[in-house]
Amino acid sequence: MTALSTRGTETSEGPSSLGAVRDRWARLRRGETGAVPVVVGMAVIWLFFQSQNANFLTARNLSNLVLQLGVVGILAIGVVLVLLAGEIDLSLGAVSGVCAGLLGVLLAQHGWPTWAALAAALGLGLAIGLLQGAIVVYVGVPSFVVTLGGFLAWGGVQLALLGSAGEVRVQDSLVRSIANSYLPPAVAWTLAVLVVAGVAGAAWLRRRAWAGAGLEVPPWRNAVLRVAGVAVAGAVVVAYLDRYFGVPYLLVLLLALTAGLGWVTGRTIFGRHVYAIGGSAEAARRAGVPVNRTRLAVFALAAALAALAGVVSVSREFSVSTGTGGGTLLLEAIAAAVIGGTSLFGGRGRTYHALLGALVITSVENGLDLLGKPSSTKDIATGAILVLAVCLDAISRRRRAAAGT
């Protein structure tokens, strides 16, 4: 009883700083690395390119880096959702291309209102996801085969949509502004304050819910550090980007998507079902999880995100072509998810991992561009980083298995 009472007292007061460091180190040794490797890798990459070219960390280049990040980042979030459920979707690049093609054709050739064309493009992505997911879930065809077929089929539909011209210019001002407009400084600072207030409010509500349920409440220090970290990061980002044109709308969109889907996967029943299915679909089914409906929803949501990536691509390029969504885009999105820390084996990862991984890939490409390196060098570097990330994931899995976690 005395030991239990002492432990309870120590928990309520919070462990010492030394104890917290030891606990963190023990978790790292067990393979629970989280985002630590990718953050360290990001710091190394940025320092290296800054040492090679002093323009890398300028406000102008970092603003361009955010714009380059948009398409891959959004697509990678969709990849993370599919991987969490233990599946794969090889059609997401083609889906973004065909949805971008539909948007361009409706706006440029048929004169549709902007809202209707955007709704049609996003709706097409959702419908494709539902179709492919239904084949996987209810027919029983492996997702690799279904989405590989989708990759080929939707690429053909894109070619048919764009016709012999192969490219459609988009003049719509609203679509163009998505990836080419910036927040006024006052709006950016107000938004940053609201985000910090939201994080603080969520932390307070979470602690209140834990206390109301009779659960152990972590020390206040953890919540304070989290809120302070968000506040400092937000202030640095806004102040730095305001030295150029300001905070891009696209950055706000990326952060909103990451936070929103992070809440869905981490705080809702649907999210817990996704992780359970990725860990073991049969065990989840026996536990009463609606496996088929959840997997179908994941494919639909991922394809809708791919459609949104297509919209951003049109906005970024002011046009859509037969090459939109093609090339190495899908491979970069998958690489971003894995580099960020999402497991290829399902059941482990976070949506923000997609953004971190995409930032790694985009930073490497951006830095090599500044150094005047050819595309071949960028592909080699991205491939090497991907293999390294998969190796780290495999080592991490073995350590967790040996530790019994």
Q: pLDDT by residue (tens digit) across 65-115?
A: 988 899 999 999 999 999 999 999 999 999 999 999 999 999 998 989 999
Mean of pLDDT over the chain: 85
Lookup: tokens for 300: 């639909």
Going by C-alpha positions, the residue among 350, 346, 339, 345 that lies closest to residue 390 is 339
DSSP state of 58: S
CATH architecture of 35-181+248-403: Orthogonal Bundle (1.10)
In terms of average pLDDT, the best of 146-150, 242-246, 359-363, 366-370 is: 146-150
Q: What is the pLDDT of residue 386?
A: 77
pTM: 0.87
- What does the pLDDT look like over 277-300, one tens digit per residue? 998 889 999 999 999 999 999 999
Residue 339 binned pLDDT confidence (cut-offs 50, 70, 90): confident
* For the chain, domain boundaries: 35-181+248-403, 182-247
Q: Are 115 and 57 in contact (CB under 8 A)?
A: no
Confidence of residue 146 (pLDDT cuts 50, 70, 90): very high
- Sign of the dihedral defined by the CA atoms of residues 199, 204, 205, 207, in that order: positive
pLDDT of residue 74: 94
Pick 89 or 223 by higher pLDDT.
89
**By three-state DSSP, how is residue 320 classified?**
strand
Residue 312 scores a pLDDT above 70: yes
What amino acid is encoded at 105 in this protein? V
Mean pLDDT of 197-212: 85
**DSSP run (H or E) holding 167:** strand 167-169
- Does residue 30 have a pLDDT over 60? no
pLDDT of residue 35: 66
For residue 23, what pLDDT band results from cuts at 50, 70 and 90? low
What's the pLDDT band for 14 if we cut at 50, 70, 90? Answer: very low
12 pLDDT more than 60: no
CB 289 within 8 A of CB 276: yes
Task: Please list the helix, strand and coil fractions of the chain in percent, rounded to the nearest 5, in that order.
Answer: 75, 0, 20
- pLDDT for the residue 379: 81
Q: Are 352 and 370 in contact (CB under 8 A)?
A: no
Distance CA 242, CA 229 (A): 20
Q: What is the mean pLDDT of residues 371-383?
A: 83
3-state secondary structure of 321: strand
**Paired strand residues for 258:** none
Q: What percent of the chain has pLDDT over 90?
A: 45
Q: pLDDT band at 401, cuts 50/70/90?
A: low
**Over pLDDT 70: what percentage of the chain?**
89
